[in-house]
A and B are shown apart, each in its own frame.
Chain A
Amino acid sequence: KEKHKILHRLLQNSTSPVDL
């Protein structure tokens, strides 16, 4: 996971889950 830290950070940032 350490290798993919930018992707990880971008996904964690202010996620607003959408469930319809």
Chain B
Amino acid sequence: LSLPQKKTFLGGGHVENKVVSHLLGAEPEKIYAMPDPALPDSDIKALTTLCDLADRELVVNIGWAKHIPGFSSLSLPDQMSLLQSAWMEILILRVVFRSLGCEDQLVFAEDYVMNEEQAKLAGLQDLYTAILQLVRKYTSIKLHREEFVTLKAIALANADSMHIEDWVAVQRLQDSLHAALQELVSVLHPEDGQRAGRLIMTLPLLRQTAAKAVQHFCNIKQDGRVPMHKLFLELLEAH
């Protein structure tokens, strides 16, 4: 597993939007997978590494959510409901963004990159294919970092949990993030009036992929051979 050669997409215009600059500042530091060198390479080792990484990512993603402008004004039960529905979408969108520009490899972390062969060995081929479809979609769109952080916040606000108490407050959050995306896109791509819509239209595939991933890790949990930390288990059980 080697460090990929990463190409970054350069933004054009200067982003003044307060929500977006706040989201950029709230973006978590990178996390390393640190696979256990004492374990022999196997599917169990790969899945153990991914589940451990996911658990640590979840902690920082919950911290990140609290910094989304307006999120902390929601009731605690509503904050929980959104995160319980959207946590896997957030994890996957982060993997997808890290993997942009890396030829057919999934960058779970800087020190943990998977190609098709490695995904197959870990029993993750279907998931690999699905996530790669998202990578290709965002590669062709040339997703900017600013668009990525805003889209990630939208995925959370748009979680469609069945347990929301105050829909008006959630809708207000959705509207402010949507407005931020539109303003951002109009600065970055003034020539392309369809771009915000095109970005929003990627979200169904993200949700579908996240559902696949949750189902897959629920099966792995049932199997009982891969150790999982408490937060990851707690959120798997929320489904």
Contact indicator B234/A4 (Cβ below 8 Å):
yes
Size band of the interface chain B makes with A: 20 to 34
- 20 CB-based A-B contacts, threshold 8 Å: A4-B84, A4-B238, A7-B234, A7-B235, A8-B80, A10-B59, A10-B62, A11-B62, A11-B66, A11-B80, A12-B76, A15-B72, A16-B66, A17-B73, A18-B66, A18-B67, A18-B71, A18-B72, A19-B70, A19-B73
Contact in complex: B18, A7 (CB < 8 Å):
no
| Residues of the B chain whose Cβ atoms lie less than 8 Å from the Cβ of A10 | 59, 62-63, 231
Interface 1/0 per residue, B68-80 and A, CB below 8 Å:
1111110011011
Expressed in whole angstroms, the Cα–Cα distance for A19 and B72 within the complex equals: 9
A20-B69 contact given A4-B234, A4-B238, A6-B234, CB 8 Å threshold = yes
In the A-B complex, list the 5 residue pairs whose CB atoms are closest, starting with the nearest.
A17-B72, A10-B62, A18-B69, A6-B231, A20-B69
User: Once the chains are docked, how many angstroms separate the CA of A4 from the CA of B73?
Assistant: 20
- Size range of the interface on A? 10 to 19
B residues lining the A interface (CB < 8 Å): 18-19, 22, 59, 62-63, 65-73, 76-77, 79-80, 83-84, 230-231, 234-235, 237-238
Contacts of A8 in B (CB 8 A): 76, 80
- Complex interface: chain A residues within 8 A of B62 (CB): 7, 10-11
Residues from chain B with a CB closer than 8 A to the CB of A1 are 77, 80
Q: A15–B66 contact, CB under 8 A? A: yes
Q: What distance in Å separates the Cβ of B218 from its nearest Cβ neighbour in chain A?
A: 15
Q: Which residues of B contact A11 (CB under 8 A)?
A: 62, 65-66, 76, 79-80, 83
**Beyond A10-B231, A16-B66, A19-B73, 15 additional pairs, beta carbon < 8 A:** A3-B238, A6-B231, A7-B80, A7-B84, A7-B231, A8-B76, A10-B59, A10-B63, A11-B66, A11-B76, A11-B83, A17-B73, A18-B67, A18-B68, A20-B18
Residues of A that sit less than 8 Å from B by CB:
1, 3-8, 10-12, 15-20
Query: In the complex, what distance in Å separates the CA atom of A13 from the CA atom of B142?
Result: 36
* Chain B residues closer than 8 Å to A5, beta-carbon distance: 234
Which residues of the other chain, B, contact A20 by a CB distance below 8 angstroms? 18-19, 22, 69-70
Q: Which of A1, A8, A10, A19 has the most CB of B within 10 A?
A: A10
A19 to B73 alpha-carbon distance, docked (Å): 8
CA distance A18 to B62 in the complex (A): 14
Asked if A16 and B234 sit within 8 Å, CB to CB, the answer is no
